């Protein structure tokens, strides 16, 4: 067991959302307390702002202007982050009510800073002072970033336009919250209790056992007379659509899944329309021609036009192989159904027949991997890979559920918010320093939002005397296949890829070591942030990586070499379909944010989306609703006008991985260089500079297509 970190013990105080040391006491983090602590943090920030406004040019220095600005709202940010975490993993009416009251206040406070004329004058004058040239390169970078953020937030606007800017930001925050709430509520509103097992023909024994357990826990069926529960939580419904032999079952599940954000009272179409109109107005107000131009100004891709060119170029390159793949799929479906080849495909058939065609073509069913991918083995294998590559140690801490601490426990357990949550500490092997800790919460529940993500909760304070920074703290959350009543959690390969992907983000957070906290970890250009996560997926396809975790959960036998060979054979099965799926979303995202008036305003959202993507798509018998109805990434997340970042980062990751392939994917020397040049540096330097430092050259734009065999 790792030693207790110096900052771990709880502080005495009445504000547990930020007076908590490294590990919060989650039993004290109530919705009501969160509201109080956030508002107290806001008051403290306002007091600091008042002092900053009075700084005269001759009194200004880095510490009292830019250093003070970096730490301006530290308490409020800490409290808000923890409240957001609870909302995403333990949603409740109390949390929703508090957030709905806080969101407008937080939005007004944020815009009040950049619209504060007196503060802006202090910052602008300090940024132009001669002493800035004597600052470190990282400090100079931060000075320019602060100036840019003020300008991009309307600091130079006249008062009437500043007021409108604040109104727009507040409205967008409220709409994003409503959008998220609709998606979560619509997801939880649907379930299907199946009484006839014939309707589930083709489903695996593991899935059937899990679905029966879920049904019993909700009062449906018994062990003697089981029922099977299907929900819209990711592992449940997606597996039915991919594996169930009964078309009527697949259709019903597909219709339910694609109704999220479409049906009353959860219809998000009006919210999407309002968001697009407001974002366009916001960009124009700040002098940008489109919202992507605004959000991409500080990213690797400079503007919306360049992002669109990247997406369009990728679509053109994969269109011919995509059409060929579609022709092959339609022919296979016709053969399987004993009917003439059609020109359209049922949308509930696509995933099912892709899997079936893959199985026939390669005599391999990916479900064979599941018994060899037990969750605990995958987690431990993953940790072993990256502790080896990055020369770190990762140890698990004992935990207890909020409010239920044992009277005596030799391992000094740490409090968590749910029984399934685990806690790990990361230490540097050379120095012994406690680099950071992370929570792991990877199984679905109705109170957790969909998807998988990493949320930094606290970046450790850097020091300037050569000693290590204080520890970071973050969460890795997901909705992966959960344990059954009598079986452990057995992961699909998609689950394995997902947790490796998110762990790439986690390593970016844990190994961050920058001069300024604002530059640490994932605080990078948004189209660079997915590089470490996309990179990590590669180890789930390599024999050396697979060997660390793939053993049969019952027998302990390693995964057969034949399975690994077949896995690799099918890795790029129908790669153009995989590429085009993401490019469809990236194209829709950019077109909506750049050309909303011409292509979407006044039109049905679903019809307009379908019309836009029709030239690139295989025709469907039933047109799916627009993905924008439930795409939290682009409405409430950080990918608005920037969903292309996933494919962009995938290109970068494919290119970066060529160095690992050349020098050894388990080579600690390459791992050390990657940790030093990419993971530790965060946003302390421009992303392209970091890339060149590691690769010794600019990115190869065709790296992904070459890897997939498409070029």
**pLDDT of 170-227, one tens digit each?**
999 999 999 999 999 999 999 999 999 999 999 999 899 999 999 999 999 999 999 9
pLDDT-based confidence at 485, cuts 50/70/90?
Answer: confident
394: Cα within 13 Å, side-chain hemisphere: 25
The residue written with tokens 């490019």 in the block is 583
Alpha-carbon torsion angle 60, 62, 65, 66, nearest 10: 160
Cα–Cα distance for residue pair 614/624, rounded to 1 Å = 12
In the chain, what are the domain boundaries? 26-114+116-152, 190-257
How does pLDDT run across 216-239, given as a tens digit for each residue? 999 999 999 999 999 998 778 999
Q: Is residue 502 flagged as an active site residue?
A: yes
pLDDT score at 410: 73
Comparing C-alpha atoms, which of 117, 157, 12, 125 is closest to residue 61? 125
How does pLDDT run across 249-264, given as a tens digit for each residue? 999 999 999 999 999 9
Region 260-283 average pLDDT: 97
pLDDT-based confidence at 8, cuts 50/70/90?
Answer: very low
User: Is pLDDT above 50 for 10?
Assistant: no
How does pLDDT run across 293-327, given as a tens digit for each residue? 999 998 999 999 999 999 999 999 999 999 999 99
User: Is pLDDT above 70 for 1?
Assistant: no
CB atoms within 10 A of CB 633: 18
Of 502, 515, 530, 591, the catalytic one is 502
Cα–Cα distance for residue pair 170/100, rounded to 1 Å = 11
How does pLDDT run across 36-88, given as a tens digit for each residue? 999 999 999 999 999 999 999 999 999 999 999 999 999 999 999 999 999 99
User: Is pLDDT above 90 for 2?
Assistant: no
Percent of the chain whose predicted confidence (pLDDT) is above 70: 98
CB atoms within 10 A of CB 135: 15
The fold adopted by the segment(s) 26-114+116-152 is: Glutathione S-transferase Yfyf (Class Pi); Chain A, domain 2 (1.20.1050)
How does pLDDT run across 82-102, given as a tens digit for each residue? 999 999 999 999 999 999 999
Cα–Cα distance for residue pair 571/578, rounded to 1 Å = 11
pLDDT score at 4: 30
């Amino acid at each position: 067991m790792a030693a207790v970190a110096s900052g771990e013990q709880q502080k005495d105080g009445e504000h547990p959302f930020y007076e908590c040391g490294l590990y919060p006491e989650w039993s004290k983090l109530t919705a009501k307390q969160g509201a109080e602590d956030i508002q107290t943090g806001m008051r403290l920030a306002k007091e600091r702002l008042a002092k900053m406004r009075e700084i005269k040019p001759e009194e200004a220095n880095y510490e009292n202007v830019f250093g003070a600005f970096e730490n301006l709202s530290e308490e409020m940010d800490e409290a808000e982050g923890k409240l957001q975490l609870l909302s995403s993993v333990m949603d409740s009416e109390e949390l929703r009510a508090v957030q709905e009251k806080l969101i407008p206040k937080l939005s007004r406070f944020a815009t009040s800073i950049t619209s504060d004329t007196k503060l802006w004058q202090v910052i602008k004058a300090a940024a132009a002072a001669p002493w800035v040239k004597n600052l470190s390169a990282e400090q100079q970078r931060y000075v320019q970033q602060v100036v840019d953020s003020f300008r991009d937030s309307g600091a130079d606007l006249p008062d009437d336009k500043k007021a409108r800017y604040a109104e727009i930001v507040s409205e967008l925050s409220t709409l994003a919250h409503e959008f998220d709430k609709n998606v979560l509520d619509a997801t939880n509103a649907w379930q299907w209790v199946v009484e006839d097992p014939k309707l589930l023909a083709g489903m695996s024994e593991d899935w059937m056992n899990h679905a029966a357990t879920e049904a019993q826990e909700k009062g449906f069926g018994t062990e003697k007379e089981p029922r099977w529960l299907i929900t819209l939580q990711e592992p449940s419904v997606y597996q039915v659509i991919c594996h169930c032999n009964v078309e009527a079952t697949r259709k019903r599940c597909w219709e339910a899944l694609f109704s999220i954000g479409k049906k009353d009272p959860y219809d998000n179409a009006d919210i999407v329309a309002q968001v697009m109109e407001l974002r366009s107005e916001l960009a124009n107000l700040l002098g940008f021609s489109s919202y992507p131009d605004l959000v991409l100004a500080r990213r690797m891709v400079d503007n919306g036009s360049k992002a669109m060119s990247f997406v369009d170029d990728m679509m053109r390159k994969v269109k011919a192989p995509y059409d060929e793949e579609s022709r092959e799929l339609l022919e296979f479906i016709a053969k399987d159904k004993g009917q003439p080849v059609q020109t359209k495909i049922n949308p509930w058939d696509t995933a099912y027949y892709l899997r079936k065609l893959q199985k026939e073509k390669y005599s391999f069913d990916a479900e064979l991997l599941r018994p060899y991918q037990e969750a605990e083995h995958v987690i431990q294998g993953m940790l072993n890979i990256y502790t080896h590559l990055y020369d770190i140690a990762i140890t698990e801490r004992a935990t207890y559920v909020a409010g239920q601490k044992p009277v005596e426990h030799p391992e000094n357990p740490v409090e968590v918010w749910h029984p399934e949550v685990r806690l790990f500490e990361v230490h540097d092997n050379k120095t012994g320093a406690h680099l950071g800790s992370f929570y792991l919460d990877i199984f679905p529940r109705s109170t957790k939002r969909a998807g998988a993500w990493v949320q930094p909760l606290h970046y450790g304070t850097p020091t300037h005397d050569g000693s290590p920074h204080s520890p970071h703290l973050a969460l890795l959350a997901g909705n992966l296949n959960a344990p059954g009543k009598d079986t452990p959690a057995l992961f699909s390969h998609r689950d394995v890829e997902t947790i490796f992907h998110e762990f790439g983000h986690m390593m970016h957070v844990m190994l961050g070591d920058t001069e300024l906290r604002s530059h640490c970890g994932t605080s990078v250009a948004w189209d660079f942030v997915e590089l470490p996560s996309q990179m990590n997926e590669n180890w789930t396809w390599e024999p050396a990586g697979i060997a660390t975790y793939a053993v049969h959960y019952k027998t302990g036998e390693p995964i057969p070499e034949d399975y690994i060979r077949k896995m690799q054979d099918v890795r790029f099965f129908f790669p153009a379909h995989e590429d085009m799926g993401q490019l469809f979303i990236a194209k829709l995202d950019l077109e909506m944010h750049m050309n909303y008036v011409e292509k979407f305003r006044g039109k049905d959202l679903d019809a307009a989306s379908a019309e836009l993507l029709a030239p690139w798509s295989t025709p469907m018998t039933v047109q799916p609703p627009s993905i924008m109805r439930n795409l939290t990434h682009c409405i409430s997340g950080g990918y608005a006008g920037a969903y292309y970042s996933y494919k962009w980062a995938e290109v970068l990751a494919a290119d970066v991985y060529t160095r690992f392939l050349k020098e050894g994917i388990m080579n600690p020397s390459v791992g050390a260089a990657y940790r030093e040049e990419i993971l530790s540096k965060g946003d302390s330097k421009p992303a392209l500079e970091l890339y060149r430092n590691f690769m010794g050259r600019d990115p190869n734009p065709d790296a992904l297509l070459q890897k997939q065999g498409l070029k």
